[in-house]
Structure 1
Amino acid sequence: MTKAYKFFVWIFTILAYTFAGIIIIYILFEGIPNISPSLFEWKYTSTNVSVMPALISTLFTIILTLLITLPIGIFTAIYLSNYAKNKIFIKAIRFATEILSSIPSIVYGLFGYLFFVKTLSLNYSLIAGCLTLAIMILPTIIRTTEEAILTVNPLQAHASLALGATKIQTIFKVVIPEAMDGILGGIFLSTGRIVGESAALIYTMGSQPSIPKTIGNSARTLAVHMFMLSSEGFHVNEAYATAVLLLVFVILINWISSKITKSLVK
Structure 2
Amino acid sequence: MVEIFILSMIAGTVSGLFAGLFGIGGGLILVPILVFLFKAQGFAADFIMHMAVATSLATIVLTSISATLAHHRLKSVIWGKVYSLVPGIVIGSVLGAVIADTISADSLRIIFAIFLLYIGFQMAFQIKPEAGAMQQSPFLDAVVSIVIGILSSMLGIGGGTMTVPYLVRGQFPVRNAVGIASACGLPIAFGGTLSYMLLGFEKTGLPAGSWGYVYLPAFAGIVLLSMVTAPLGAKLAHKLPAQTMKSYFSLLIFIMAAKLLSE
TM-score by length of 2: 0.32
TM-score by length of 1: 0.32
When Rg is computed on C-alpha atoms for both structures, the one with the higher figure is 1
